[in-house]
Structure 1
Amino acid sequence: MVITSLKPEDEIFTNTLSIMPSNFSMYENYHTALTQTPLIQFMINGVIVTIAIFLSQIVVAVPAAYALSKLEYYGKEVIFIAVVACLMIPPQVVSIPWYLLMYKFGWLDTYEGLVAPFTISVFGIFLMRQFFNSVPTDLVSAARMDGFSEFGIVWKIMVPTAIPALISFGVFSIVAHWNDYFWPLIVANSQEIYTPPLGVVAFKSDEAGDSYGPLMAAATIIVAPLVICYLIAQKRFIEGITMSGIK
């Protein structure tokens, strides 16, 4: 992808194998990628949507995971089984009910429509529950004796200890929704709220053919933030996965 983004059009379609281009067209391809479509605006939209989804998922997943891990009540195991069962439901199955709900709420072609269906992450609940299982129950009991409410324990005791798990989940969540093409394609009708994957499609032309140089340049620009974020968070990411008991 990166090498193709540096090549001129004639070298991309040559019948000979060449790793590095003979004539670099980096400026032309990247300039076209940034000017032919508002790619920067698409990336800003992607940041807004992915961060909003991640924060809303944390607000729901952390208390739910705490309730499934540290509270005792009738039917807890049944609820946990139901949560795990929801992991097997692909988003395409519920896309029509989602779309109808967004239509009823008036959220089609809005940020709310892009964010709302993903505010609950069953994977996030499962991952955080597995991590909370590794936290000593004595720590929770001591916090209760000190007068902490259950919500106080969640946000002041459990969350600080779960930073590695939160970072791990953040990597999964941000990558998944930054790259999501299916749902934004359905909900977003105007370029003002297009996310990065929709922006890449602008370089596809059924009549003139695909502009592979600018297309690969745009894809490189879109992928680069994810690679950088993972390299920064990789230590915590691995720590969160290993400590949550997921193999």
Structure 2
Amino acid sequence: MSTRAFLAPKAILRHAALLATAALILVPFIWMVSLSIKPPGEIFRSSFSFLPEQFYGVENYTKAITQASLLRYMLNGVIVCTTILALQIAVCAPAAYALAKLKFAGRDLLFALVLVALLLPHEVLALPLFILGYKIGILNTYAALIFPYVVSPFGIFLFRQFFKAIPDDVVHAARLDGYSELGIVWKIMIPMALPATVAFGIFSVVSHWNNLFWPLIAVSHEALMPPPLGMMSFRNKEAGNDYGPLMAAATIIVLPLVIAFLLAQRSFVEGISGGAIK
């Protein structure tokens, strides 16, 4: 009884800390949704309330969709994020398998280089990537938005850690059955590492869906702009200081990510806890 009584206050404090942290994270999103359904006159009032006195959501969301190429920006985001994720898995999974299950000279050095690459912010490579993109003529194309992210050090690390947790006997049995090394990767390892794949997919899609820095450098044509860059164009050209439609557009852009995470949260947690920390 004394042990349970001692643990109860710890549990209460732990849950209180989690709730406070969640509230701090959710407040900006709730505020964004609140502004997206308010008329201009209520947005800059000295007294703030989450619920509007006059519901203005239909007007704001209609402006967000019709007065800017919002759907085009989102389509660009889907094309870019889907292509990046597919190429990253195609490159990172075999590389991670080699680092986890194959023995060859320099394997530990290569893994150390992957860890070093994890520490480097992508902005460090922006200038050489821009020059390379100019030299090969891919600026202002989808390729310019996709090419720099094909190889993901984080993806290699995450898959490698998950593959390390799979018993070597599984690999040996697959080889005895006649599978090639690539066959083992795609038919054995990837299905067993589905939680890690989902976790990496969420990280990848969220990161590149929200990426502003590189698209701001790589593309200038409005037809190629992904959602964050398109939002800047919407803000400057269409909405001006009309923050209601701007917040409505931001809500529409964020909503697919929220839905995707809610649908995949169990696999996301399993992928992080089951692979990355082993």
Shared fold per TM-score greater than 0.5: yes
* Alignment match of 1:96 (pick from 98, 122, 127): 127
1:4-25 CA-to-partner distances (Å, cap 9, x unmatched) read 1000111000111222100111
Percent identity, aligned pairs only, is 52
Structure 2 unaligned spans of 5+: 1-31
2:20 alignment partner in structure 1 = none
Counterparts of 2:41 and 2:216 in 1: how far apart (Å)? 32
1:202 CA displacement: 2.6
1:129 CA displacement: 0.2
One-letter amino acid of the structure 1 residue matched with residue 62 of structure 2: H
* Alignment match of 1:42 (pick from 62, 73, 78): 73
1:214 alignment partner in structure 2 = 245
Residue pairs, 1:121-136, within 5 angstroms: 121-136=152-167
Contact kept in structure 2, 1:167 and 1:240, CA below 8 Å: yes
1:209 CA displacement: 4.9
One-letter amino acid of the structure 2 residue matched with residue 214 of structure 1: P
1:101 CA displacement: 1.1
Counterparts of 1:175 and 1:46 in 2: how far apart (Å)? 10
1:181 alignment partner in structure 2 = 212
Larger Cα-atom Rg: 2
Counterparts of 1:245 and 1:90 in 2: how far apart (Å)? 20
2:84 alignment partner in structure 1 = 53
Contact kept in structure 2, 1:140 and 1:153, CA below 8 Å: yes
Q: Residues 189 and 61 from structure 1, CA distance in 2 versus in 1: closer, same or farther, beyond 3 angstroms? A: same
Instruction: Tell me, yes or no, if structure 1 residue 158 matches structure 2 residue 189.
Output: yes
1:233 alignment partner in structure 2 = 264
Residue pairs, 1:57-206, within 5 angstroms: 57-205=88-236
Counterparts of 1:109 and 1:54 in 2: how far apart (Å)? 20
Contact kept in structure 2, 1:203 and 1:210, CA below 8 Å: no
One-letter amino acid of the structure 2 residue matched with residue 166 of structure 1: T
Counterparts of 1:205 and 1:170 in 2: how far apart (Å)? 32
Counterparts of 2:110 and 2:199 in 1: how far apart (Å)? 24
Counterparts of 1:25 and 1:201 in 2: how far apart (Å)? 23
Counterparts of 2:276 and 2:219 in 1: how far apart (Å)? 38
Instruction: Please state whether the residue corresponding to 2:48 is helix, strand or coil.
Output: coil
Counterparts of 1:113 and 1:94 in 2: how far apart (Å)? 14
Counterparts of 2:154 and 2:49 in 1: how far apart (Å)? 43
Normalised TM-score (structure 2): 0.86
Counterparts of 1:116 and 1:245 in 2: how far apart (Å)? 26
Normalised TM-score (structure 1): 0.97
Structure 1 unaligned spans of 5+: none
Contact kept in structure 2, 1:68 and 1:76, CA below 8 Å: yes
**Over 4 Å off, 4+ runs:** none
2:16 alignment partner in structure 1 = none
Counterparts of 1:235 and 1:69 in 2: how far apart (Å)? 25
Instruction: Tell me, yes or no, if structure 1 residue 246 matches structure 2 residue 258.
Output: no
1:246 CA displacement: 2.6
1:203 CA displacement: 3.7
Counterparts of 2:116 and 2:155 in 1: how far apart (Å)? 14
1:33 alignment partner in structure 2 = 64
> In proportion to residue count, which structure has more helix?
2
Counterparts of 1:5 and 1:205 in 2: how far apart (Å)? 18
Contact kept in structure 2, 1:203 and 1:214, CA below 8 Å: no
Counterparts of 1:245 and 1:86 in 2: how far apart (Å)? 16
What's the Cα RMSD here?
A: 1.3
